[in-house]
């Protein structure tokens, strides 16, 4: 992915806007390209997300012109970007809210409720439980369903940014 972004940034004279354009390319090519449908990935381990974050960190170091020993926290604070594991968690929580907003008899809703009752390591419900703990939201379906889509998305975004940065 970096090999696609670097030539764009090097061939076009962007001047002082190089980092801004690079962050937009990160969002469009790396985040939206590689994390397509990441909200439904199952059996995702922390090691899997760390592999994706290594690529992201290399790109951020390139954009800022930082050496390899620069702290990762600095990269995210300086760019205002959120690490990939938090982006995946936010997408997964918003998808869970979408499922919970559906009719009780719909198959996806029944499967989610069953998974929460009988969760297995690596299934969607287990990952969502960890995400809810991460941003300190209650694991109560009725309370989560009480939010409309926009307010829940805003709440998740605020909590994710707070925890990530």
Domain membership of residue 32 as a residue range: 2-82
End position of a domain, from candidates 15, 47, 82: 82
How many domains in the chain?
A: 2
Domain limit, last residue, from 52, 82, 112: 82
pLDDT, tens digit (0-9, with 9 covering 90-100), for 33-53: 888 988 888 888 889 999 999
Shared domain check, 100 and 40? no
Q: Are residues 54 and 124 located together in one domain of the fold?
A: no
The verdict on 76 and 90 lying in the same domain is no
* Same domain as 101, residue 54: no
Residue found by looking up tokens 């970096």 in the block: 2
- Residue 61 banded pLDDT, cuts 50, 70, 90: very high
In this prediction, residue 108 carries a pLDDT of 93
69 and 92 in a single domain? The answer is: no
Q: Is 20 in the same domain as 72?
A: yes
Residue 78: its pLDDT value, please? 93
Q: Which of 82, 116, 150 is the last residue of a domain?
A: 82
**Which residues are within 8 A (CB) of 133 and not within 5 positions of it... i.e. 6 or more apart?**
139
**Structure tokens given for 76:** 């995210």
Same domain, 74 and 103: no
Query: Tell me, what's the pLDDT at 138?
Result: 86
**For 73-106, how does the pLDDT look when each residue is reduced to its tens digit (9 = 90+)?**
999 999 999 999 999 999 999 999 999 999 999 9
> Do 66 and 102 share a domain, yes or no?
no
Q: Residue 98 and residue 95: Cα distance in Å, rounded?
A: 5
Tally Cβ neighbours within 10 Å of residue 159.
19
Amino acid 74: pLDDT: 93
User: Based on the domain organization, do 94 and 148 belong to the same domain?
Assistant: yes
Q: Per-residue DSSP letters for 87-152?
A: HHHHHHHHHHHHHHTS-TTSHHHHHHHHHHHT--TTSHHHHHHHHHHHTT----HHHHHTS-HHHH
């Amino acid at each position: 992915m970096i090999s696609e972004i670097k030539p764009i940034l090097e061939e076009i004279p962007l001047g002082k806007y190089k980092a801004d354009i690079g962050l937009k390319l990160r969002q469009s090519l790396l985040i939206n390209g590689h994390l397509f449908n990441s909200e439904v990935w199952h059996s995702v381990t922390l090691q899997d997300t760390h592999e994706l974050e290594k690529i992201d960190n290399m790109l951020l170091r390139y954009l800022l012109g930082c050496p390899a020993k620069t702290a990762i926290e600095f990269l995210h604070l300086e760019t205002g970007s959120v690490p990939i594991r938090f982006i995946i968690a936010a997408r997964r929580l918003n998808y869970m809210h979408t499922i919970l907003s559906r009719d009780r008899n719909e198959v996806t809703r029944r499967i989610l409720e069953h998974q929460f009752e009988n969760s297995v390591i690596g299934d969607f419900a287990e990952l969502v439980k960890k995400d809810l703990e991460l941003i300190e939201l209650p694991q109560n379906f009725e309370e989560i369903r009480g939010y409309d889509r926009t307010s829940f998305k805003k709440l998740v975004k605020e909590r994710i940014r707070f925890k990530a940065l």
